Amino acid sequence: MAFESGVCVDRRGFLAGGLAGLSVAGALGPTRLLANTGHAASDVSCIFIWTQGGTSHHDTFDPKPQASDGVRGPLNAISTAVPGVFFTELCGRMARELGRYSLLRSWNPRNAGHGVADHWCMSGRNVNPTLVYPCVGSVVSHQHGFKSALPPFIQLGAHVDRTNNGGMPGILGLAHGPFEIHADANAEKFSVRDITPPLDMEMARIDRRRAVLARIDRLQRLADRQPTAFDALDEHYKTAFTMITAPETKRAFDIATEPAALRDDYGRTSFGQRLLLARRLVQSGVRFVTVSDPGWDHHTDCFNGLKGRMPAIDQAIPALLIDLEQQGLLDKTLVVWMTDFGRTPKINPAIGRDHWASAGFVVMAGAGVPGGLVLGETDAEGGLPKTHETFTENVVATIYHKLGLPLDLTVTAADGRPIRLIEGEPVREWI
């Protein structure tokens, strides 16, 4: 018989592991339902888009058509909805819809390392060897709690680097980690493992398993020496049953009910359908959704690589903003697009761009962020911010502010230390 942290898990796991294909302690442990302990509520949700690897700012939103061949690259610059602002030809729809979002061109990542970027951009804190700062989604879960039967923090896609605990709850504990959904929302028969019961399993069968599980628990507790640990596990099971039986769960993930024309507008791609699913999740009460997309580390053949990846982004993000507005959700939904860092101004011998720690872009929209606003500029080669230099902590502090999280928020670590979660002021023009 196996033990974990002194708690016997085999008898409970044997029975509940077959519960609608659900491994509760493993899959739902991070989303254990906790009481809202009087924290201020916020109605603003967030869709956080993460293009993993480092999307090139030169070849998307900050072209340098007057620079030398070794800097500007082969992509043409095109006009946008804002006079005097140019994007590259890969961003046609983003250019036309610039009035719907704000663009920061003078972000200084101060970092050029994968893994470090995932942690820093999602938490607002550089990697610290003595403690792990929580990402914003986990802070939202900790401070605001559940809004519906669905977890407050969901990650769509598996494309977040965990080397330095990027996108994780850190000192807040696993109860506030993301519920990860790796299934392809663009699949013909999309279903979510560990949430959607198998098609041949009736709810009556689930109820019977729950009753048997309760009887086993009562017998085991008679000899149990760690009832607190079992209480924690019980919350996982309660959350699991609530999720798989609640009507909003089925509705939220039933993406096939969306009009075909709307799904086409987002694009029939993994990324496009993840964004549509993110809108459905926010609409169903999820407070924070991370949408991750891989394949942006273009050290070689950069321009063909971008031609393969950028069209899905260019189509889906404007579609999301239009859809949120039509659904009446844009004022209550913050949309943020970040990536690891920028890319080198000079094109390398492999026709690629390498990591660049000093310049990049951030896109932000919704929740009162003014559309059509382009903040800052870089120098003639796109290597350094020239005006309105903005750091990662400023971007994350803006997210905190929009989501109703205090900028001086302090939590207590397991060893009793008070830990302030974020330092830095929000971007004034965005608030």
Instruction: Write out 69-84 in H/E/C secondary structure.
Output: HHHHCCCCEEECCCCC
Q: pLDDT (tens digit, 9 = 90+) per residue, 107-139?
A: 999 999 999 999 999 999 999 999 999 999 999
DSSP line for 369-380: PPTT-EE-EE-T
Which helix (H) or strand (E) segment holds residue 136: the answer is helix 136-144
Q: Does the domain at residues 41-186+268-430 carry the CATH identifier 3.40.720.10? A: yes
Say if residue 185's pLDDT is above 80: yes
1-17 mean pLDDT: 33
Of the pLDDT bands very low, low, confident and very high (cuts 50, 70, 90), residue 414 is confident
Residue with tokens 């196996």: 2
Q: Which of 229, 249, 228, 251 is nearest to 239 (CA)?
A: 249
Q: Which residues fall within 8 angstroms of residue 37, CB to CB, at 6 or more apart?
A: none
Asked if 119 and 165 count as a contact pair (C-beta separation under 8 A), the reply is yes
Q: What DSSP character marks residue 222?
A: T
* pLDDT of res. 210: 58
Of the pLDDT bands very low, low, confident and very high (cuts 50, 70, 90), residue 207 is low
* pLDDT of res. 203: 55
In angstroms, rounded to a whole number, what is the distance separating the alpha carbons of residues 17 and 26? 10
In angstroms, rounded to a whole number, what is the distance separating the alpha carbons of residues 9 and 16? 10
Asked if 365 and 335 count as a contact pair (C-beta separation under 8 A), the reply is yes
> Would you say the pTM of this structure is higher than 0.75?
yes
In angstroms, rounded to a whole number, what is the distance separating the alpha carbons of residues 356 and 112? 6
Give residue 102's region: left, alpha or beta (phi > 0; psi -120 to 50).
Answer: beta
Q: Which of 347, 348, 375, 371 is nearest to 361 (CA)?
A: 375
Of the pLDDT bands very low, low, confident and very high (cuts 50, 70, 90), residue 48 is very high
Domain boundaries, the chain: 1-31+201-256, 41-186+268-430
